[in-house]
Amino acid sequence: MPKVYILANGAMASALAYGLRDKYEVFIVGRDKSKLKILKEQGFKTLLYEDFDLESKVVILAFKPYALKNVAQILKGEAKILISVLANTDFKELECIKAKNTIRIMPNIAARYKASTTPYILKNSKFKDEILNLLNTFGKAYELSDSSQMNAAMAISGCAPAFLALVAQSIAEGGVYKGLTKDLSLNLTQGLFESVNALLKHEHPALIKENICSPAGVTIKGIKALEEKAVRAAFIEAIDRSSE
């Protein structure tokens, strides 16, 4: 079973570790012994930074971007493949860590369930098949044509799940406001997202909306309320802010 080393132990690192664990031997590298102990109890192998070297390894950077320089100073050797999940950190900045090939990616925490949408860009073509096999373990991977696309792609794949979680929470609470139980309203909302996911695989969002809205019907009244609150503009602004 191939080995993968994840540097960090936060929410994203844990999601990636769970997504990989049935096809890879996952090692989590960190500083905090108590956190590593918890992960070890969950079935992962763990290492402290002082016991780890990069040499010929497949390594995922999943710590906070501000820590890059400090981490780079304690890492030794040259990685085979260096996969960066660090937001707004370009290839030039990543050169402080030696690797035969470097990949920038931005999965989302649905990688835990192998359902992430993951944009990526490669520094060179070395080990591309091996890299794609790993990325597809998280869900679906989409190659970018230029590094300039990463920030916007990151906002959609990495940040927007939080936006949609806010939408789901609001819809479920709307059901409660109108008299549904919390459990029923949440179940209906979960089913709603499954339905929309199926529709989006076959139709453009604008067509989905048009097909549901009938003249003077109940749906167009809800759409009008959302337009009055400038919901579309708010989501565009949210993507813009996160991509910055």
Cβ-Cβ contacts under 8 Å for 168 (sequence gap 6 or more) = 189, 190, 193
Give residue-wise pLDDT tens across range 184-197: 999 999 999 999 99
Looking at residues 13-27, what average pLDDT do you find? Answer: 94
Residue 139: which residues within 8 A CB-CB, separation 6 or more? 19, 107, 110, 111, 114, 115, 116, 117, 118
At CA 231, angle to CA 187 and CA 207, rounded to 5? 75
pLDDT at 243: 92
Residue written as token pair 């040499």: 55
| Res 183: pLDDT | 98
Task: Enumerate the domain spans of the chain.
Answer: 3-143, 154-243
Query: Per residue in 203-212, pLDDT tens?
Result: 999 999 999 9
Which residues are within 8 A (CB) of 78 and not within 5 positions of it... i.e. 6 or more apart? 54, 55, 56, 98, 99, 100
Q: What is the pLDDT, as a whole number, of residue 36?
A: 86
Please tell me the distance from the alpha carbon of residue 242 to that of residue 197, in angstroms, as a whole number.
23
**For 144, left (φ over 0), alpha (ψ -120 to 50), or beta?**
beta
Q: Provide the CATH number for the domain formed by 154-243 in this structure.
A: 1.10.3730.10
Average pLDDT of the residues in 119-135: 96
Per DSSP, helices labelled H in the chain are 11-20, 33-41, 68-74, 91-94, 128-137, 150-154, 160-177, 182-200, 205-212, 218-228, 231-243
Q: Which fold has domain 3-143?
A: Rossmann fold (3.40.50)
